[in-house]
Every structure is written in C-alpha cells, then in structure tokens.
C-alpha cells in the first residue's frame, strides 16, 4: 500500500502500472479507482478525497473512477465517472457540472498544410470576426419558438432552420439529440441567458483551434475516418454557456430546498433520487442544456464553413462531436448482469467500442471516435473507443489534458510575454479577447497531454489514432 491518502490512515493500493485502488472504507459504498502514475497521484490530493465522497453516494454501482486527467472540481472531481442504479440511485448536478455538455467537435477539411500556411493569419482573423467570443458574447436572439425547437430537438432543430446538413447528425454523439427534454423544466432566467448565446464561443478553456495532423498511428482506422498526415482540421471546444450554468444553478438550489436533511460529505454533492419528480425534472432540463450545447457547436461549424468557402472555396465535414459533463441512461454489464444505470461523466468522455447499438453504422467496425484536446501549445489526439473500456470504467475515457495549475495559480506564477514568446517560436498564432485568458490557459497550466494519452492508450480506455498539433488558436 502507498500512503498517498489525504488523511492519516488513508491508503491507496497500486494494482498495475497505471491503476490505483482506494479500498472501500468508512462511508464508501464501493471502491474507487484512479488511472494515473505515482507522480500524477501526488498532484491530486483534493480530487482523491472528492472521489471517495462520490463512492459514498446512494445507489452507486461497481466503483467510482478517476480518469488520467483527474483534478479538483465542483462536487465530483473533473475526470470523475460514477454510475447509479436507476431505481435506487441518484442524479447530482455536481456530477455533471455547470457547463453541461461542454464538449469537443472535430472538423476535417480537404486542405493540406501547404494550402493554408500563407493564409493562416487571415483564416484565424476571419473566424475570430464571425464567431462571437469571450465573456458575455452574444449572437442573434432566438425567439421562444425556435429556442424550444432547438433545446427539445437538438441539432436536427438547428438544421431545420439552416444550420448545417442532415449528414452532420450521424457524426454527433446521440445524433445531437438527447431525451427527455422539455422547455417546461427550464426557468425563464435560463431562457433569457441562453437565447442570444447560441453560436458563441465563450471564455475560459473554450477555444477554436486550427490544427494539422502530425502523425497517424493506425492507418486503417484513419482511412475509414478520411484523414491523412498534414491535413488541416479544426477543433471546437465549447458548451452550453450561460444557459447550462443557469440550469445547474436553478436545480442545485431546488435540491437544497427540497432535501435539507440529507447527510452528504460535501454540500456540493447535493442530489435528488433519480426516480423522484425533481430528479426527473433536472434530467430533462440537463438534456435541454446538452442539446443546446450540441447546437452551439453546430452553429459555430456553420460560421466556419462560411469562412472556408470565402477563403478557399472549400468546406468542412464532421469527424465527430463528443459530450463531456453529462449524465446518461446506459446499459452496462455489472456482476455478469445487464443493468440500466444513470452514468455521470464529469470531465470525461464516452468511449464505446465497436458494434454498440448506440454507434452509427459508419463507426460500427472501428468504435466511437474520441477527441481529447491538449493545451494550446502542445497537441491534441483523435482516438476510438474499445471493447476493453466497457469492462474497465463503463466505456469512459479522459476528456483533455487536465489542469495542473488553478486559474489563480496561473495568474500568479506565469508571465504573458513569456507565454506569447514561446507560442510564437512554435509558430502558433493566438487570438484572444482577454490577455488574462491566455495566462490562465497557458500550456504550463496543464498536465502533459502525451502522458495522459499514454496512460489512456496503455489501459485501452480508448485507442490513439492520430496526433494533431495547433497552428492557430482562438480564445475568449
């Protein structure tokens, strides 16, 4: 046993090279597992305690899991995965997050690096001009009829009013539409916050990145995905903006008012029984916000296609769009029995292997595509789900590099000029509305993405297919 625990007497057992077990103790109903190395374990003491708290929640099944990018978050650690029995378990906004369906979309273009290298600054500038970015950024106001259509029907609703093509749907998790989702479960304040933020990037760790495929690891799968080395691809990382934040805020307060006498180790883990009226209303509202986030990325895709058409007489196709920060009804084999659970992935990505019913036909043979972004100065990865992941952690994988420094720490420790100089020397163009954001999101503020992927690939949480390097980055 290794004494990496956060309190005296707490121990963590090393199971294999990258798997550590926190044995069930005290109030924990199940064991917990973290996928990392010894160095990484020493960096996440607060997240370890949070994962133990998650393991103590009612109705949790099998175990609580920490992905390779795990770090402290609100309630659940970011990179935390837990599944709850649908009859006896719970649903928790802290297990989803405030930015519901913060996710990543990857677009492929027919362009190669040599086609764009002389026009890169212009490409970045044009996208920066057409996509509203930053805190409080707004776009057109959607009337209540269109807004209802979007949050209840997802991307299909957006395509109906001109944003994209029907073939986009097959390349989005859940076809960009999750149910149940009813506008009746949304507050007027959430509507007002969300109605003019569709098609906006926001701030924080959200970005649009022009990337080049630097290396292909599996040519057979790459061919099926239609990608080659030196190809230009575009990554979009954003979520449900103020709308999702308000949904989370509303329901955290409603749950606190309704379940005042709950005994929980952390008030940020407030929950409702999944089958309760309030639990079902939150599930519907959360799905509305998830649909909103899919549409948000869809509208940004529409804007990017306009720019590509103007500059290169070209367009972009979806490779895939994955959700983070979400709770979903899924069936998984637990104790040799097929069981329906409500699975919370907080800063984690679904990674279904080949032939799962949920996977569109075009991905049946290779598994669901997985997108794991790194920091803006290093690299990002395209992977696919595996059969092995089902048995490890409910078909879940990492969602990014994971923060090493908090935003305040980054502001205190890092210097803007040094960050910009380093990015410039690497040939990376950065556009941002806020200099503070560049410091908060500096490469030094994040874990080593290559190490995260090494662990992810080694454990078969997902299988690496391609490595992409940034050429230009747009931040809020």
Q: Does 230 carry a binding-site annotation? A: no
**Which backbone phi and psi does 311 adopt, to 5 degrees?**
-85, -35
Q: Does 475 carry a binding-site annotation? A: yes
Q: Does 194 carry a binding-site annotation? A: no
Q: Does 205 carry a binding-site annotation? A: yes
- CA 129, CA 135: separation in Å to the nearest integer? 15
Three-state SS annotation for the chain: CECCCCCCCCCEEEEECCEEEECCCCCCCCEEEEECCHHHHHCCHHHHHHHHHHCCCCCEEEEEEEEEEEECCCCCCEEEEEEEECCCCEECHHHCCCCCCCEEEEEEEEEEHHHHHHHHHHHHHHHHHHCCCCCCCCCCCCCHHHHHHHHHHCHHHHHHCCCCCHHHHHHCHHHHCCCCCCHHHCCHHHHHHHCCCCCCCCCCCCEEEEEEEEEECCHHHHHHHCCCCCEEEEEEEECCHHHHHHHHHHHHHHHHHHCCCCCCCCHHHCCEECCCHHHHHHHHHHHHHHHHHHHHHHHHHHHHHHHHHHHHCCCCEEEEEEECCEEEEEEEEECCEEEEEEEEEECEEECECCCCCCCCHHHCCCCCEEEECCCCCCCEEEEECEHHHHHHHCCEEECCCCECCCHHHHHHHCCHHHHHHHHHHCCCEEEECCHHHHHHCCHHHECCHHHHHHHHHHCCCCEEEEEEEEEEEEEC
Q: Does 324 carry a binding-site annotation? A: yes
Q: Does 250 carry a binding-site annotation? A: no
Q: Does 168 carry a binding-site annotation? A: no
Q: Does 373 carry a binding-site annotation? A: yes
Q: Does 208 carry a binding-site annotation? A: yes
Q: Does 374 carry a binding-site annotation? A: yes
Q: Does 237 carry a binding-site annotation? A: yes
Tokens standing for residue 277: 């009226």
Pair 107, 113: CB distance under 8 Å: no
Q: Does 399 carry a binding-site annotation? A: yes
Q: Does 14 carry a binding-site annotation? A: no
Q: Which of 71, 177, 332, 399 is catalytic?
A: 399
Q: Does 375 carry a binding-site annotation? A: yes
Distances in Å between the Cα of 98 and the Cα atoms of 80, 254, 266, 300 are: 14, 15, 17, 21
Q: Does 206 carry a binding-site annotation? A: yes
- Residue 82 burial (CB < 10 Å; 0-12/13-18/19+)? buried
- CA 337, CA 72: separation in Å to the nearest integer? 33
Pair 465, 366: CB distance under 8 Å: no
User: Is 399 in the active site?
Assistant: yes
Q: Does 119 carry a binding-site annotation? A: no
For the beta sheet containing 326-334, the strands, ordered from the edge strand earlier in sequence to the opposite edge, are 13-16, 19-22, 31-35, 60-71, 78-85, 337-346, 326-334
Q: Does 182 carry a binding-site annotation? A: no
Which residues are tagged catalytic? 399
Please enumerate, by residue number, every residue annotated as part of a binding site for Mn(2+): 99, 206, 237, 324
Where is the binding site for GMP, in residues?
205-209, 324-325, 373-376, 380, 399-402, 475
Residue set of the binding site = 99, 205-209, 237, 324-325, 373-376, 380, 399-402, 475
């Amino acid at each position: 046993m290794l004494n990496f625990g956060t309190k005296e007497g707490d121990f963590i057992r090393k199971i294999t090279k990258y798997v550590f077990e926190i044995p069930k103790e005290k109030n924990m109903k199940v064991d917990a597992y973290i996928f990392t190395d010894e160095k990484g374990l020493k960096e996440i003491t607060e997240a370890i305690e949070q994962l133990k708290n998650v393991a103590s929640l009612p109705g949790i099944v099998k175990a609580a899991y920490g992905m390779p990018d795990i770090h402290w978050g609100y309630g659940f650690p970011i990179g935390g995965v837990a599944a709850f029995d649908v009859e006896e378990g719970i649903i928790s906004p802290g297990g989803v997050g405030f930015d519901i369906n913060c996710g990543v979309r990857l677009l492929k273009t027919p362009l190669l690096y040599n086609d764009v290298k002389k026009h890169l600054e212009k490409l970045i500038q044009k996208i920066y001009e057409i996509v509203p970015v930053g805190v409080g950024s707004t776009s057109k106001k959607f009337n209540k009829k269109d807004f209802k259509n979007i949050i209840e029907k997802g991307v299909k609703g957006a395509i109906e009013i001109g944003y994209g093509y029907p073939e986009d749907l097959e390349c989005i998790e859940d076809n960009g539409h999750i149910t149940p989702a009813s506008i009746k479960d949304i507050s007027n304040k959430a509507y007002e916050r969300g109605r003019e933020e569709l098609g906006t990037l926001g701030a924080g760790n959200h970005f649009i990145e022009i990337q080049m495929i630097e290396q292909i690891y599996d040519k057979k799968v790459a061919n099926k995905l239609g990608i080659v080395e030196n190809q230009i691809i575009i990554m979009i990382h954003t979520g449900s903006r103020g709308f999702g934040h308000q949904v989370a805020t509303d329901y955290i307060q409603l749950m606190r008012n309704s379940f005042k006498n709950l005994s929980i180790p952390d008030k940020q883990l407030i929950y409702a029984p999944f089958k309760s009226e309030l639990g079902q209303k939150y599930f519907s509202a959360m799905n509305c916000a998830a649909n909103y986030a899919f549409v948000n990325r869809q509208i940004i895709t529409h804007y990017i296609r306009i720019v590509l058409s103007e500059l290169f007489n070209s367009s972009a196709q979806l490779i895939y769009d994955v959700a983070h920060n979400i709770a979903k009804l899924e069936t998984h084999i637990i104790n040799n029995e097929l069981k329906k659970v409500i699975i919370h992935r907080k800063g984690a990505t679904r990674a279904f292997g080949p032939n799962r019913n949920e996977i569109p036909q075009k991905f049946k043979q290779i598994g669901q595509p997985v997108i794991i972004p790194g920091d803006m100065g290093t690299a990002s990865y395209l992977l696919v789900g595996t059969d092995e992941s089902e048995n490890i952690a409910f078909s879940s994988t990492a969602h990014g590099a994971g923060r090493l420094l908090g935003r305040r720490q980054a502001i205190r420790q890092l210097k803007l000029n040094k960050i910009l100089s380093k990015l410039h020397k690497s040939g990376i163009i950065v556009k941002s509305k806020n200099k503070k954001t560049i410091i908060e999101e500096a490469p030094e503020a994040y874990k080593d993405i290559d190490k995260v992927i090494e662990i992810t690939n080694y454990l078969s949480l997902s299988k690496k297919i391609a490595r992409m390097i940034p050429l230009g980055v747009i931040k809020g």
